[in-house]
Amino acid sequence: MKVKNTKRERTAKEYADQYGISVSTVKKYFSQDREDYEEEARKRRLKAYCLRNMGLKWHEVGETLGTTKHGAIALYKRYEKLDKKEEA
């Protein structure tokens, strides 16, 4: 039985400490659905792709997305590999 099907606002460890339960129990009952996670990841990859194509530098794309320069590059490349094929 899942209690909440959205992304957690805090880490599983923080919830486990607060309620006195194990981390695995938190993950079991308070987890984001796979479909929601994949949609969120797809939007994040698209945003990295769009920002880079607008002329932003890699470190600026990373800052906007809350990641590093190399994280932004990885998102861009994943978009090209996974999502761009679906659009064509």
Q: What is residue 56's three-state secondary structure? A: coil
Q: Are the CB atoms for 30 and 6 separated by under 8 Å?
A: no
pLDDT at 87 > cutoff 80: no
**Sign of the C-alpha dihedral computed for residues 47, 48, 52 and 53 taken in this order:** negative
Give the tens place of pLDDT for each residue, 32-85: 888 888 999 999 999 999 999 999 999 999 999 999 999 999 999 999 999 887
